[in-house]
């Protein structure tokens, strides 16, 4: 066919290159596909188109065109990329182990490879190419199409999965991040807790206030890496806070700040740790050095608890009390900030410190109380020992004095009784009798001084016996009349007609009581009369309003004797009446008088009366109105009114054998004296053995001998006594040793006492004297006669 | 007046005179009181013993005082013994002499002692006579059926 020569460019506008072997410039047919179904040539020179048939497929576009060139290059690179992608995939999948979609990868790889192959083969179609190439090309394309469709279909399933994997991954990452944060938080909290525990342990390990506070500051400083830590305590007045402890400075000199500062109030009103300005007075602990930037400051209140704050059921009210201020400063220039957990730590520590301080305070208190008790204990013990010593001393004193007082008493009594037996005029006789009676009374009194101490022990017992009651009163009257008449006082005795004549009781002590009471009446009266009334108390008069504690119980065997002694003397202030019966107590009025009494009398009387199951009291209307002493005692009624032996006046007993069978030993070197003494004792009924030397004495003496009479004018008289003491170590086995001596000097008596004689008798000895001596000896086991 | 009462009267007078003149004192009375049914011859025995003792002592004292160098201590002890004895029976005068004797012994006065010794002898003899009279009277009374009145 003839084709006109037309400019290709003009006709079609583009060039296409085809992969193929032949690429010719020519005009393409407008119809049909430009493949190398034949060879079309264009003979430029001839301007004719000739069709030759060849198997080559002609590319659609001329191969030399620029566009074709670019296509060619791009195809090459695409193929290259397409081949390298699966290689890379394989490499990285091999590297990782967790890729779940391997077969997808394979598929995808195949797809890519085929695409690459397609593009590669396309390279050959830009020029004329043979049919085989076209076939290969086609196959590749078909395959590619198949695989890619399959892949596309597969991806529909895969991509959502992959996407979800991605979302899960994201979610997990978020979760991990959150957990990390939480972990961090927990760790910080645990850290804080550990610090608090450690701090608390440090604080609680001591009960000393200073150590507690110091340790707190030190530990806090260390834990929180503080620059400075300070504690301000309230002063005693409560108006100021004083700097008490700091971390860095050793001895803070007392800076004080007033407590009413707003910043302090702010801190005190909240129980949280509060940030305060570094320039506030409590935080300015160091002189500002100028250029540095102070670190943040936090302050917290520390409640100071007292023992009184702790009620049983509720925790102390925090509104009431005093607080201390703890100020903590972070290091300057560090740009550190207070974190929440650090503030919490500080608050907890402040509370712990409060508790520890209160414990310390309680402990101090109890230690102080214990020390006080111990002191008191020591003092009490001391006082008790002193009291015991005093009592012992008193007892010793009493015993000695008693002994010393008895001795002259016995002398007076003995000599008076001797005197009584001599020739006397009636007046003299009366006088001697009075002397004797008085001295007997005195002897009794002396006994009673010792008795008083026994009274207080409660060991005194009444000597009950039957006696003549009327006689007792008469005796008292007789005794008191001389003294009363000197003072021109009239004494009258009024005995009730129904008063029994005889009664059973302690005659001596009753007499003593009456005498004391009457004596007081006489003593304290300057003028007037004294009346003594005695009668049997009937039940109405027994119960007296003035004796409310007295509950008498009348019975058949007993009666109550009531004695009233009225005087018109000084009288007693009613307020002083209770004191009267106290030992040694004297009122002003009593003491002002020249009274020689020791104040013992009424006290003894009271005790005697009490022993007699009675009651004694004094009534007085006031000073100058006289007084009346009343006492009631219980006495027994004797069964038959026999004449009792009058024990008050020692009368000679009629029996000669007063001491039947009493074994005695007489030691005397003078034969005559020996015989006389033997006769004397034999006359009294004793069983007498005589010896003339101390050797013989010791040889003969035995436990049966009750008394040994020895003449101490013998050369070895005292020696015998000593040897006797040695022989009989126990007092109750030893016979009583009595010295007979004509010596009237004190030396002899002292010597006798020294060797432990139980008695000394002055020679000559009358029968009566010997009788009474023996009686006395056997009763009291001691007899010392004055020289 | 019959014999008994006469004798008793005599005894009473005699005894009173003895007391009056100080030959015996109260101790002698005591001694007499000791005489009872169990020891009827008590006083006689004691008095005899005394006189024996006295003689012995006097002899010893005489001997001691005759020495060239007088042992006054020994003499003193004898005097002491005598004094004791005499006061035991109530021989008042002898006792008084003894007291004086003792003073001389202490003063170591030989002359004085000798003088006292003589006095002792004298008194001794006198007392002996007197008491013998007394005892005789008593015996007579007893023989005549009476009883010896108790001394006051």
- Tell me the pLDDT band of A655, cut-offs 50, 70 and 90: very low
Best mutation target among A679, A709, A711, A768 (most B Cβ atoms within 10 Å) is A679
Q: Across chain A, what does the average pLDDT equal?
A: 76
Q: Does residue A534 or residue A670 have the better pLDDT?
A: A534
pLDDT of residue A100: 67
The widest CA-to-CA distance across chain A, in whole angstroms, is 223
CB atoms within 10 A of CB A240: 17
Pick from A669, A671, A683: which is nearest to B36 by CB?
A: A683
- Tell me the pLDDT band of A176, cut-offs 50, 70 and 90: very high
Across residues B139-146, what is the average pLDDT?
83
In the block, tokens 């003995």 appear at A414
* CB-CB under 8 Å, A673 with B46: no
B18 min Cα distance to partner chain A (Å)? 17
Does residue A370 register a pLDDT over 90?
yes
pLDDT of residue A61: 63
A436 min Cα distance to partner chain B (Å)? 22
* CB-CB under 8 Å, B45 with A675: yes
pLDDT of residue A542: 55
For residue B28, give Cα distances in angstroms to A656, B2, B10, B32, B149: 19, 28, 18, 6, 14
A424 min Cα distance to partner chain B (Å)? 13
In the block, tokens 């409310």 appear at A548
* CB-CB under 8 Å, A670 with B85: yes
Q: Does residue A349 or residue A731 have the better pLDDT?
A: A349
Which DSSP string do the residues of A267-320 spell out, in sequence order? Answer: HHH-SS-EEE-TTSTTT--S---SS--PPPEEEEEEE---GGG--SSSPPPTTS
Residues from chain B contacting residue A656 (CB–CB below 8 Å):
36
User: Which pair of structure tokens corresponds to residue B122?
Assistant: 């004298």
User: Which residue, A409, A398, A508, is CA-closest to A463?
Assistant: A508
Taking a C-beta distance cutoff of 8 angstroms, is the pair A172, A163 a contact? no
Residues from chain A contacting residue B83 (CB–CB below 8 Å):
742
Taking a C-beta distance cutoff of 8 angstroms, is the pair A48, A2 a contact? yes
Three-state DSSP at A685 gives coil
Taking a C-beta distance cutoff of 8 angstroms, is the pair B95, B83 a contact? yes
As a whole number of angstroms, the distance between CA A769 and CA A420 comes to 12
As a whole number of angstroms, the distance between CA A23 and CA A27 comes to 12
pLDDT in tens, A535-585: 888 766 555 555 555 566 667 788 889 999 998 887 777 777 777 776 555
Taking a C-beta distance cutoff of 8 angstroms, is the pair A511, A476 a contact? yes
Does residue A182 register a pLDDT over 90?
yes
Beta bridge partners of A690: A666
* CB-CB under 8 Å, A677 with B46: no
To the question of whether residue A523 is assigned a binding role by annotation, the answer is yes
Residues from chain A contacting residue B85 (CB–CB below 8 Å):
670-673
pLDDT in tens, A325-367: 888 888 877 777 888 888 888 888 888 888 888 888 788 888 8
User: Which pair of structure tokens corresponds to residue A593?
Assistant: 């008088």
* CB-CB under 8 Å, A713 with B84: yes
Best mutation target among A423, A661, A670 (most B Cβ atoms within 10 Å) is A670
Q: Which residue of A has its CA nearest to B42?
A: A679
Taking a C-beta distance cutoff of 8 angstroms, is the pair A26, A49 a contact? yes
Q: Mean pLDDT lowest for which of A500-509, A623-632, A711-720?
A: A711-720
Does residue A17 register a pLDDT over 50?
no
As a whole number of angstroms, the distance between CA B100 and CA B116 comes to 7
Does residue B135 register a pLDDT over 60?
yes
To the question of whether residue A567 is assigned a binding role by annotation, the answer is yes
Pick from A673, A680, A767: which is nearest to B85 by CB?
A: A673
Which distant-in-sequence residues (6+ apart) come within 8 Å of A113 by Cβ? A82, A83, A86
pLDDT in tens, A95-127: 776 666 677 777 778 888 888 888 888 888 777
User: Which pair of structure tokens corresponds to residue A48?
Assistant: 């004719």
pLDDT of residue A413: 83
Beta bridge partners of A256: A242
B51 min Cα distance to partner chain A (Å)? 9
Residues from chain B contacting residue A767 (CB–CB below 8 Å):
30, 33-34
φ and ψ at residue A320, rounded to 5 degrees: -80, -25
Maximum mean pLDDT: which of A21-35, A51-65, A113-127: A113-127
pLDDT of residue A543: 55
Q: Which residue of A has its CA nearest to B81?
A: A670
- Tell me the pLDDT band of A180, cut-offs 50, 70 and 90: very high
Pick from A672, A711, A767: which is nearest to B33 by CB?
A: A767
pLDDT of residue B11: 87
Does residue A301 register a pLDDT over 80?
yes
* CB-CB under 8 Å, B49 with A675: yes
Q: Mean pLDDT lowest for which of A95-99, A276-280, A700-704, B19-23?
A: A95-99
Question: How far out from the chain centre does Cα A257 lie?
Answer: 37
What is the rounded end-to-end Cα distance, in angstroms, of chain B? Answer: 24
Instruction: Find the chain A residues whose C-beta atoms sit closer than 8 A to any C-beta of B.
Output: 656, 669-673, 675-677, 679-680, 682-683, 711, 713, 742, 763-767
| E strand or H helix at A175 | helix A131-204
- Tell me the pLDDT band of B71, cut-offs 50, 70 and 90: confident
Across residues A4-22, what is the average pLDDT?
37
Best mutation target among B28, B29, B88 (most A Cβ atoms within 10 Å) is B88
Question: How far out from the chain centre does Cα B1 lie?
Answer: 32
Taking a C-beta distance cutoff of 8 angstroms, is the pair A78, A119 a contact? yes
Does residue A657 register a pLDDT over 60?
no
Q: Mean pLDDT lowest for which of A354-368, A500-514, A531-545, A640-654?
A: A640-654
* CB-CB under 8 Å, A764 with B81: no
What is the rounded end-to-end Cα distance, in angstroms, of chain A? Answer: 205
To the question of whether residue A522 is assigned a binding role by annotation, the answer is yes
B105 min Cα distance to partner chain A (Å)? 17
* CB-CB under 8 Å, A672 with B85: yes
To the question of whether residue A36 is assigned a binding role by annotation, the answer is no
pLDDT of residue A31: 35
* CB-CB under 8 Å, B90 with A679: no
As a whole number of angstroms, the distance between CA A298 and CA A274 comes to 5
As a whole number of angstroms, the distance between CA A448 and CA A601 comes to 10
Q: Mean pLDDT lowest for which of A12-16, A134-138, A707-711?
A: A12-16
Beta bridge partners of A709: A666, A738
Does residue A88 register a pLDDT over 70?
yes
B98 min Cα distance to partner chain A (Å)? 13
Residues from chain B contacting residue A679 (CB–CB below 8 Å):
31, 34, 39, 42, 46
pLDDT of residue A97: 65
Q: Give me the count of residues in chain B.
A: 152
Question: How far out from the chain centre does Cα A270 lie?
Answer: 35
User: Which pair of structure tokens corresponds to residue A110?
Assistant: 């195949």
Taking a C-beta distance cutoff of 8 angstroms, is the pair A329, A300 a contact? no
- Crossing angle, helix A671-683 and helix A767-780, to 10 degrees? 70
Q: Does residue A289 or residue B40 have the better pLDDT?
A: B40
The fraction of chain A above a pLDDT of 70, given in percent, is 77
* CB-CB under 8 Å, B31 with A679: yes
Best mutation target among B28, B84, B98, B152 (most A Cβ atoms within 10 Å) is B84
* CB-CB under 8 Å, B84 with A672: yes
* CB-CB under 8 Å, B89 with A679: no
What does DSSP say about strands A48-52 and A707-711: parallel, antiparallel, or unpaired?
Answer: unpaired
Three-state DSSP at A575 gives helix
Pick from A672, A680, A711: which is nearest to B53 by CB?
A: A672
- Tell me the pLDDT band of A281, cut-offs 50, 70 and 90: confident
pLDDT of residue A661: 78
Residues from chain B contacting residue A713 (CB–CB below 8 Å):
80, 84
Q: What is the DSSP letter of B39?
A: B
Across residues A80-84, what is the average pLDDT?
88
Does residue A508 register a pLDDT over 80?
yes
Per 3-state DSSP, chain B is made up of helix, strand and coil in percentages (nearest 5) of: 80, 5, 20
pLDDT of residue A540: 62
Taking a C-beta distance cutoff of 8 angstroms, is the pair A328, A299 a contact? yes
As a whole number of angstroms, the distance between CA A319 and CA A515 comes to 77
Beta bridge partners of A738: A709, A759
Residues from chain A contacting residue B30 (CB–CB below 8 Å):
680, 764-767
Question: How far out from the chain centre does Cα A747 lie?
Answer: 66
Across residues A716-731, what is the average pLDDT?
80
As a whole number of angstroms, the distance between CA B34 and CA B42 comes to 7
Across residues A310-331, what is the average pLDDT?
67
pLDDT of residue A371: 94
In the block, tokens 């009058």 appear at A646
A762 min Cα distance to partner chain B (Å)? 12
Does residue A20 register a pLDDT over 70?
no
Three-state DSSP at A42 gives strand
User: Which residue, B81, B29, B84, B92, is CA-closest to B57?
Assistant: B81
* CB-CB under 8 Å, B31 with A676: yes
To the question of whether residue A598 is assigned a binding role by annotation, the answer is yes
Residues from chain B contacting residue A676 (CB–CB below 8 Å):
31, 34, 46, 88-89
Taking a C-beta distance cutoff of 8 angstroms, is the pair B71, B64 a contact? yes
* CB-CB under 8 Å, B50 with A764: no
Does residue A590 register a pLDDT over 60?
no
Inter-chain CB pairs, A–B, below 8 Å: 66
Q: Which residue of A has its CA nearest to B90?
A: A764
In the block, tokens 């410190």 appear at A353
Does residue A658 register a pLDDT over 80?
no
Maximum mean pLDDT: which of A17-26, A36-45, A502-511: A502-511
As a whole number of angstroms, the distance between CA A20 and CA A197 comes to 90
| E strand or H helix at A760 | strand A759-762
> Residue A765 burial by CB count (10 A; 0-12/13-18/19+): exposed, middle or buried?
buried
| E strand or H helix at A108 | helix A102-123
To the question of whether residue A520 is assigned a binding role by annotation, the answer is yes
Residues from chain A contacting residue B55 (CB–CB below 8 Å):
none
Instruction: Find the chain B residues whose C-beta atoms sit closer than 8 A to any C-beta of A.
Output: 26-27, 30-31, 33-34, 36, 38-39, 42, 45-46, 49-50, 53, 80-81, 83-90
Q: Give me the count of residues in chain A.
A: 787
As a whole number of angstroms, the distance between CA A279 and CA A332 comes to 13
């Amino acid at each position: 066919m003839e084709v006109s020569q037309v400019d290709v460019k003009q006709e079609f506008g583009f060039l296409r290159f085809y992969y193929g072997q032949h690429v010719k410039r020519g005009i393409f047919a407008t119809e049909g596909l430009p493949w190398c179904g034949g060879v079309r040539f264009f003979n430029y020179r001839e301007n004719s188109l000739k069709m030759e048939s060849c198997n080559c497929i002609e590319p659609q576009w001329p191969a030399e065109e620029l566009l074709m060139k670019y296509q060619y290059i791009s195809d090459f690179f695409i193929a290259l990329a397409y081949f390298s992608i699966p290689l890379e995939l394989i490499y990285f999948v091999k590297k990782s182990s967790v890729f779940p979609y391997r077969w997808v990868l394979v598929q995808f790889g195949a797809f890519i490879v085929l695409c690459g192959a397609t593009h590669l083969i396309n390279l050959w179609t830009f020029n004329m190419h043979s049919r085989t190439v076209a076939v290969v090309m086609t196959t590749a394309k078909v395959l590619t199409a198949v695989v890619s469709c399959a892949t596309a279909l597969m991806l529909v399933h895969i991509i959502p999965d992959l996407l979800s994997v991605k979302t899960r991954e994201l979610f997990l990452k978020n979760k991990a991040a959150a957990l990390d944060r939480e972990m961090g938080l927990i760790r910080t909290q645990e850290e804080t807790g550990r610090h608090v525990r450690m701090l608390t342990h440090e604080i609680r390990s001591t009960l000393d206030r200073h150590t507690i506070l110091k340790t707190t500051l030190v530990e806090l400083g260390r834990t929180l890496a503080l620059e400075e830590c300070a504690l301000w305590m309230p002063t005693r007045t409560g108006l100021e806070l004083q700097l008490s402890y700091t971390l860095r400075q050793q001895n803070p000199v007392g800076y004080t700040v007033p407590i009413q500062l707003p910043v302090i109030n702010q801190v005190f009103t909240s129980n949280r740790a509060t940030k305060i300005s570094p320039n506030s007075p409590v935080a300015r602990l160091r002189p500002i050095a100028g250029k540095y930037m102070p670190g943040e400051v936090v302050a917290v209140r520390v409640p100071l608890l007292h023992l009184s704050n702790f009620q049983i059921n509720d925790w102390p009210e925090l509104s009431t009390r005093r607080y201390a201020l703890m100020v903590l400063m972070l290091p300057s220039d560090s740009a550190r900030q207070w974190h929440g957990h650090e503030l919490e730590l500080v608050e907890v520590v402040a509370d712990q410190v409060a508790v520890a301080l209160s414990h310390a305070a309680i402990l101090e208190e109890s230690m102080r109380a214990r020390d006080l008790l111990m002191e008191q204990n020591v003092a009490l013990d001391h006082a008790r020992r002193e009291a015991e010593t005093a009592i012992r001393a008193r007892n010793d004193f009493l015993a000695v004095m008693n002994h010393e007082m008895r001795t002259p008493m016995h002398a007076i009594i003995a000599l008076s009784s001797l005197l009584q037996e001599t020739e006397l005029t009636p007046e003299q006789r009366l006088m001697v009798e009075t002397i004797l009676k008085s001295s007997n009374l005195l002897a009794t009194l002396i006994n009673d001084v010792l008795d008083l101490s026994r009274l207080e022990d409660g060991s005194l017992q009444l000597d009950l016996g039957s006696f003549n009651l009327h006689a007792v009163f008469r005796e008292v009257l007789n005794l008191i009349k001389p003294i009363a008449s000197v003072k021109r006082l009239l004494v009258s005795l009024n005995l009730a007609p129904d008063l029994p004549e005889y009664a059973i009781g302690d005659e001596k002590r009753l007499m003593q009581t009456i005498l004391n009471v009457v004596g007081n009446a006489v003593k304290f009266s300057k003028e007037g009369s004294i009346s003594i009334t005695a009668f049997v108390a009937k039940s109405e008069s027994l119960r007296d309003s003035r004796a409310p504690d007295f509950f008498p119980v009348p019975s058949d065997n007993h009666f109550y004797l009531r004695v009233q002694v009225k005087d018109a003397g000084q009288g007693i202030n009613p307020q002083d009446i209770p004191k009267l019966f106290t030992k040694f107590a004297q009122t002003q009025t009593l003491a002002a008088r020249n009274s020689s009494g020791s104040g013992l009398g009424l006290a003894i009387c009271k005790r005697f009366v009490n022993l007699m199951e009675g009651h004694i009291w004094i009534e007085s209307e006031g000073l100058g109105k006289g007084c009346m002493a009343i006492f009631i005692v219980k006495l027994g009624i004797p069964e038959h009114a026999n004449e009792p032996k009058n024990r008050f006046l020692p009368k000679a007993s009629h029996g000669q054998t007063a001491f039947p069978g009493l074994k005695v030993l007489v030691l005397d070197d003078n034969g005559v004296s020996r015989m006389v003494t033997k006769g004397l004792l034999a006359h009294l009924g004793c069983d007498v053995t005589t010896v003339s030397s101390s050797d013989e004495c010791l040889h003969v003496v035995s436990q049966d001998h009750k008394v040994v009479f020895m003449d101490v004018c013998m050369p070895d008289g005292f020696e015998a006594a000593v040897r006797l003491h040695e022989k009989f170590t126990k007092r109750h086995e030893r016979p009583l040793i009595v010295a007979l001596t004509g010596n009237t000097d004190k030396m002899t008596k002292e010597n006798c006492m020294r060797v432990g004689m139980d008695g000394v008798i002055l020679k000559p000895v009358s029968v009566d004297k010997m009788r009474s001596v023996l009686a006395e000896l056997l009763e009291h086991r001691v007899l010392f006669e004055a020289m | 007046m019959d014999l008994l009462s006469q004798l008793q009267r005599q005894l009473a007078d005699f005894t009173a005179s003895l007391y009056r003149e100080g030959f015996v004192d109260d101790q002698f009375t005591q001694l007499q009181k000791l005489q009872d049914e169990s020891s009827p011859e008590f006083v006689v025995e004691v008095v005899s013993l005394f006189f024996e003792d006295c003689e012995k002592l006097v002899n010893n004292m005489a001997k001691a005082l005759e020495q060239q160098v007088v042992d006054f201590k020994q003499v003193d002890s004898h005097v002491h013994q005598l004094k004791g004895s005499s006061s035991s029976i109530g021989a008042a005068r002898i006792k008084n002499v003894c007291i004086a004797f003792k003073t001389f012994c202490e003063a170591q006065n030989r002359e004085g002692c000798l003088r006292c010794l003589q006095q002792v002898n004298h008194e001794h003899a006198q007392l002996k006579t007197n008491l013998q009279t007394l005892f005789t009277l008593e015996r007579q009374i007893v023989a005549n059926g009476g009883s010896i009145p108790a001394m006051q």
